[in-house]
Chains A and B, each alone.
Chain A
Amino acid sequence: MLDTSVVLSGLKLDNPVIPASGTFGYGNEFREFYDINVLGSFSFKGTTREPRFGNPTPRIAECTAGMINAVGLQNPGIEAVIAEELPRLRTFFHKPVIANISGFSVEEYAYCCERIDREEQVGLIEVNVSCPNVRHGGMSFGTSPEAAAEVTRAVKAVTTKPVYIKLSPNVTDIVAIARACEEAGADGICLINTMLGMRIDMQRRRAVIANTMGGFSGPAIFPVAVRMVYQVAQACSVPVIGCGGVQSARDVIEMMMAGATAVEVGAANLVNPYASKEIVEALPAEMERLGIERLSDIIGVVA
């Protein structure tokens, strides 16, 4: 009997496959395609204290083996998520969900995490520290070990559920930031978020994206994600959720061998709405092919 289950800080998942934040909304659009209960869990759209419209359009640009997005955290705000999205989600998703939280100040992170922590359906809180810190010149919290640790401490002080910090790859030393989060009490690390990228419309001689730059993701970033997951898993003792460019069961297994306990699937869901489901379904055959009986056995086998 093949065993695909994994455990994230006490939260048991039937399988390690988790649609990544921002590529799965609050589940509504994907339930029209399939029963999303086949997933390990999913991470809902990055949620902030206030409702946000996000950036001007165009927000999307195509790249070789990937895409750039500059959505700008469009979301209905934490109160609407609690009052509308979670009650609706409960009617069609019967597993714990991962709450992805964003903020523009330490207080906003703490406020949102404290609110969402009380929601029964939330199994784990994923704190996206890639957002700009408005009080410090807009520099992202995720680019400094001190700022990332400060957010971690503030969130841990007001929550009871596992808190994972989702890191940006746009840094010089990912290990220093992951370690700082672990020391500040993070229960786990999730990485990577998108890589900063840009495309130019040569006819119009201007950037394709209205915001000029945006987050690059998709299969092109997979090797970077595997490398960063490996580095962080080597340096930290808390579990790691691997993310970035995953589009097959083989990619999931590779990410786990690098050190990930669970694996998120992002942009792949957008180009193939069945991507995550197909990965879940392909896992057993791939495990068999590689002689894996218990998926959790391979976490970090590459030393």
Chain B
Amino acid sequence: MYRKGLYRILENEPLTASVWRMRLAGDTQWITAPGQFVNIAIDGLYLRRPISVCDCDAQTLTLVYKVVGEGTARMSRMAPGTELDLLTGLGNGFSTGVATQRPLLVGGGVGVPPLYNLARRLLAEGKPVQVVLGFNTAAEVFYEEEFRALGCDVTVATADGSRGVEGFVTTAIARCGLDFDYFFACGPLPMLRALSEATAQPGQLSFEERMGCGFGGCMGCSCKTKYGSKRICKEGPVLAKEEVVW
């Protein structure tokens, strides 16, 4: 189920030179699974902007976004107290109801945020959570400490080696000999694909697509899967590894 509502900005602050965190107050009851997203109306821009829910509780939700264009740039200039029109409860999200004892969470860049609430849920289910976070360079790293504070076992990889393991998330998984029986991943397409090819374990992957609506109304975001076409905004953004057609 999804809804439209008004949300008030509580905080909006930079985590790195280009990544911001926004906390909003409002009705969060429609957000039911980690990895779901919201679609944000921005004054003066025609389409909404889809952003994953990084974390939420009964009254607030947290978004972590990278400034890449006009919409996210405008978001970064919004002051606390500003009201935003959001569609919430969008997408299927990650399913934690899978048989896993040793889950691995893999995030690349702004694919990291939706894994945060997922980590919290898996830990609450009593599972040890290992996390691999991939970035280009040390200055872009965010949320390493936040995951550690939850009690996750965190490995960081940077492409230029300026922090943690030098290389991609797949390099880090191999080099550290991480032992896992299932994975959850979100990040750029090449990362998802490399990860899928490098792992024998089953998993779930979260995808991005350009969206007209975000709630299944326009067929703008369809992709082919082994079980027919799916809308990234509705039957996705999370797909099971075994159904993905690369």
Contact = CB atoms under 8 A, between A and B. Distances in A.
Contacts of B79: none
A61 B213 CA distance: 12
Given A57-B223, A61-B210, A273-B217, 10 more contacts: A22-B218, A25-B217, A33-B4, A60-B221, A62-B45, A62-B46, A71-B218, A74-B219, A267-B212, A272-B4
Contacts of B148: none
Contacts of A96: none
Nearest to B217: A29
Interface string A30-62: 101100000000000100000001100111111
A50 B124 CA distance: 47
Contact of B47 (A59, A74, A269, A271): A271
B41 interface: yes
Contact of B229 (A53, A61, A271): A53
B87 A273 contact: yes
B210 A23 contact: no
Contacts of A272: 4, 41
A66 interface: yes
A29 B221 CA distance: 15
B48 interface: yes
Given A33-B4, A71-B220, A270-B217, A60 B212 contact: yes
Contact of B46 (A28, A53, A218, A274): A218
A57 B2 contact: no
A22 B212 CA distance: 11
Given A67-B46, A270-B213, A54 B4 contact: no
A30 B223 CA distance: 21
A33 B216 CA distance: 12
Interface in A65-99: 65-67, 69, 71, 74
Nearest 10 A-B pairs (CB), nearest first? A270-B213, A60-B220, A29-B216, A58-B210, A74-B219, A60-B210, A60-B212, A62-B47, A29-B217, A71-B219
Interface residues of B, number: 27
B1 interface: yes
B46 A63 contact: yes
Contacts of B217: 23-25, 29-30, 269-270, 273
A74 B4 contact: no
Nearest to A58: B210
Interface string B193-221: 00000000000000001111101111111
Interface of B: 1-4, 41, 45-48, 87, 209-213, 215-224, 229, 234
A57 B212 contact: no
A32 B47 contact: no
A271 B46 CA distance: 7
A273 B219 CA distance: 15
Nearest to B2: A32
Contacts of B224: 53
Contacts of B213: 269-271, 273
Contacts of B234: 29
26 contacts: A23-B217, A23-B218, A25-B217, A29-B216, A29-B217, A33-B4, A53-B222, A57-B220, A57-B223, A58-B209, A58-B210, A60-B211, A60-B220, A61-B210, A67-B46, A69-B212, A69-B218, A218-B46, A267-B212, A269-B217, A270-B212, A270-B218, A271-B47, A271-B213, A273-B213, A273-B217
A54 B222 contact: yes
Contact of B220 (A24, A63, A69, A274): A69
Main SS class of interface, A: loop
Nearest to B218: A270
A269 B212 CA distance: 10
Nearest to A74: B219
Contacts of B4: 33, 272-274
A48 B221 CA distance: 20
Nearest to A24: B217
A273 B46 CA distance: 13
A74 B229 contact: yes
Contacts of B219: 22, 25, 45, 54, 59, 71, 74
A53 B230 CA distance: 10
Contacts of B221: 57, 59-60
Contacts of A64: 46
A93 to B, nearest CB: 15
Interface string A252-277: 00000000000000010111111000
A58 B209 CA distance: 7
Contacts of A69: 212, 218, 220
